[in-house]
């Protein structure tokens, strides 16, 4: 597993860290942090077995990890494919990057209201080309390729 955690706020008791110690089939996570993280917290996570990788953050001052820097760092570790799960900001950041070539969306029969999940805004420089729609229980899964202009 790969965790994007710019300030290393992952709890030390997270199952992501404790599970692999009790189940050898599970792998310890790679935690990707920004430049401005707590070095003591990094040391604690590494002592527990996590691999902490540090990358630059976006130039807009938001403190968000630079997606392209994340991809380069993971590529250096031999990670060439990545499934991204996240909120609207994480998904938008990845969709805006030319590194994304496949999008899989699960559509659930759930109404989203004023307090619902934030919508993902499609970046102007990318469009999706649906390849497959597949029912999955009550949900529908769509796979699409991404075309970047």
Q: Kindly calculate the radius of gyration of the chain based on its CA atoms and give it in whole angstroms.
A: 17
- The arithmetic mean of pLDDT across residues 5-20, rounded, is 94
pTM here is 0.81
Q: Which of 4-13, 60-69, 85-94, 140-149 has the lowest mean pLDDT?
A: 85-94
Q: What is the rounded distance in angstroms from the CA atom of residue 46 to the CA atom of residue 14? A: 14
pLDDT at site 119: 65
Both tokens assigned to 14 = 């997270």
Closest CA to 28 of 40, 37, 18, 38: 18
For the stretch 30-89, pLDDT in tens is: 999 999 999 999 999 999 999 999 999 987 878 889 999 999 999 999 999 988 888 778
pLDDT at site 95: 83
Residue 123 scores a pLDDT above 70: no
Task: Name which residue leads in pLDDT, 144 or 126.
Answer: 144
Closest CA to 90 of 107, 70, 109: 70
For residue 110, name the pLDDT band (cuts at 50, 70, 90): confident
pLDDT at site 122: 63
Q: What is the rounded distance in angstroms from the CA atom of residue 54 to the CA atom of residue 109? A: 38
Mean pLDDT of the chain: 88
- The arithmetic mean of pLDDT across residues 80-109, rounded, is 85
Sign of CA dihedral 80, 103, 146, 102: positive
Helices 67-76 & 88-96, crossing angle to 10 degrees?
A: 80
pLDDT at site 124: 66
Burial class (CB in 10 A: 0-12, 13-18, 19+), 116: exposed
Residue 97 scores a pLDDT above 90: no
């Amino acid at each position: 597993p790969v965790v994007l955690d710019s300030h290393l706020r992952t709890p030390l008791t997270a199952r992501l860290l404790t599970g692999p110690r009790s189940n050898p089939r599970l792998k310890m996570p790679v935690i990707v942090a920004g430049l401005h993280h707590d070095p003591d917290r990094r040391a604690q996570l590494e002592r527990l077995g996590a691999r902490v990788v540090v990358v630059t953050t976006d130039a807009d001052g938001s403190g968000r990890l630079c997606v392209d820097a994340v991809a380069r760092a993971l590529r250096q570790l031999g990670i060439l494919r990545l499934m991204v799960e996240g909120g609207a900001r994480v998904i938008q950041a990845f969709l805006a990057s030319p590194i994304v070539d496949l999008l899989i969306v699960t559509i659930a029969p759930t109404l989203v209201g004023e307090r619902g999940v934030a919508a993902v805004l499609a970046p102007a420089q990318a469009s999706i080309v649906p390849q497959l729609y597949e029912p999955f229980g009550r949900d529908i899964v769509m796979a699409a390729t991404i075309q970047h202009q």
